[in-house]
Amino acid sequence: MTAAVTFRSVSRHFGAVKAVDSVDLEIAEGEFFAMLGPSGSGKTTCLRLIAGFEQPDGGEISILGQSANGVPPWKRHVNTVFQDYALFPHMTILDNVAYGLMVRGIDKVTRHKAAEEALELVKLGGYGGRKTGQLSGGQRQRVALARALVNKPSVLLLDEPLGALDLKLREAMQEELKGLQKRLGITFILVTHDQGEALSMADRVAVFNQGRIVQSGAPEDIYNRPKTRFFADFVGSSNILPPALSESLTGTKRWTSLRPEAFTLETGNDRLSLAGQVEASSFMGAVRRIALKVGESTIHANLPAGVTIPTEGETITLHFTPEALNWLEDAV
């Protein structure tokens, strides 16, 4: 099967800054792929390279098996949904959605019919006659999505599309985007700095740092088995245990990571344990998050909210299975 997008040693430099540094990447057709990383990590530049808004300084980019190097954006079978939506306030919703088809010379009847179908697809049927100022943030996001989908792209690029929405609406849209991608079978490529967003929606996630991919794989794999200290610290919330503390637990002197949800107060012969003083305790709804001082380290644990926790300054022992401990590479 032909890959939807392929990078072969792709680089993009801005002066001395290596925004993308010899990246190799292959995204399958029909895959929901997420590029995750902090600001300046290279993920957005990679998206712009796929869209054609940037051209590589080195390497080869292919879209559906065809070289995209030097190909302008309007000749690529991709569309982009931006965070700011970029809708035209003077146009109706229907004309906003149909705009790309108008530019391509599609007649009014045909393009309006296609726009109405796209609005139905994003659950905005009947909204075509309204203006953008009459819509909520979530509805405007759907219009931007419909405008991209009406062109029937092979690859849909999503540049922080949910960043302007409040938490509850963002979570609802995550479910809708994932469901929409499954129904359409189009390749979705999402750029985000929100770990929960990437892990909940994508089939596969690539985490970027300093212009390179530091780890990629299925969400469950990268969350449970991070390879480096940067990765373990960035993706989700994780305790990074220094070599001396790991050695006291296992006899092996290496950096390790341990997720807060791995801990329990229940003892067992097959479990390892950490004892220390409670520094802080916070109620967070379903869980209570505690900070435990263990030697020179502070360990965070998420325990069921109903568990009785000693007061600050008292000693508590946490237990976890050896399998929960993840060995990290020596590199930061």
Around Cβ 328, how many Cβ atoms within 10 Å?
23
Question: Which of 200, 232, 264 represents a domain boundary (last residue)?
Answer: 232
**164 within some domain:** yes
Same domain membership, residue 75 and residue 59: yes
**Torsion of the alpha carbons at 287, 219, 331 and 321, rounded to the nearest 10:** 50
- What pLDDT was estimated at residue 331? 47
Report the share of the chain in percent with pLDDT over 90.
59
Same domain membership, residue 248 and residue 208: no
Same domain membership, residue 301 and residue 178: no
Same domain membership, residue 260 and residue 216: no
- What pLDDT was estimated at residue 284? 85
How many structural domains compose the chain?
2
**332 within some domain:** no
Same domain membership, residue 107 and residue 247: no
- What pLDDT was estimated at residue 111? 93
Grouped pLDDT means (10 residues each) for the chain, 332 residues: 92 95 96 94 96 96 95 92 82 92 91 92 89 86 88 92 74 85 93 89 94 94 89 86 92 92 85 92 88 92 83 89 89 46
- What pLDDT was estimated at residue 137? 79
**In the block, residue with structure tokens 């344990």:** 273
Handedness of CA 90, 95, 97, 103 (dihedral sign): negative
Per-position b or e across 246-274, b if 16+ CB within 10 A of its CB: beebeeeeebbbbbbebbbeeeeeeebeb
Same domain membership, residue 186 and residue 111: yes
**16 within some domain:** yes
Question: What pTM value is reported for the model?
Answer: 0.87
**Domain carrying residue 27:** 3-232
Same domain membership, residue 269 and residue 184: no
Same domain membership, residue 161 and residue 124: yes
- What pLDDT was estimated at residue 168? 77
Question: Which of 183, 199, 232 represents a domain boundary (last residue)?
Answer: 232
- DSSP codes of every residue in 44-66: HHHHHHHHTSS--SEEEEEETTE
